[in-house]
A = this chain, B = another copy of it.
Amino acid sequence: MTRLADTPEPPYFAVIFTSLSNQADTADYARTAQHMLELAQRQPGYLGVEETRDDDGVGITVSYWRSLEAIAAWKNHADHLDAQRLGRERWYNAFRLRIARVERATAWSAPDSSDT
């Protein structure tokens, strides 16, 4: 799977979700996170996602969307609301959620690389 997102020309929107996991209940977390990724990809206006998490439990997920309306619809999807509740109840010590309008973007690949 490609880990860097190939997004269209700006403008579009980004949801920057940075979190500190409590590193408990990791199997359930991983299953839900995977389900959310797959579900997000089927939402109208979805453009891509990039995510990573280190061994200290610091995770960053950036998802890209065509419009604020698409973000609002995804935020209020029933399964996603459940996952958000579980996140607060069981998985996160803290998080930050920021919604931003992407104004400019650059993509680069090494000349001798098969890219992502």
- Chain A residues within 8 Å of B, Cβ to Cβ: 3-5, 7, 10, 14, 16, 18-20, 22, 50-56, 58-60, 62, 88, 92-110, 113, 115-116
Contacts and interface: CB of A to CB of B under 8 A. Distances in A.
Contacts of A51: 60
Contacts of A5: 18, 96
A22 B106 CA distance: 19
The binding surface of chain A is classed by DSSP as strand
8 closest Cβ contacts across the A-B interface? A100-B100, A60-B60, A93-B113, A94-B109, A100-B102, A52-B58, A52-B54, A97-B106
27 contacts: A3-B58, A4-B20, A4-B96, A7-B96, A7-B98, A16-B16, A16-B102, A50-B58, A50-B96, A52-B58, A60-B62, A88-B108, A92-B110, A93-B113, A94-B116, A95-B108, A96-B105, A96-B107, A96-B108, A97-B106, A97-B107, A97-B108, A99-B103, A100-B101, A100-B102, A100-B103, A101-B101
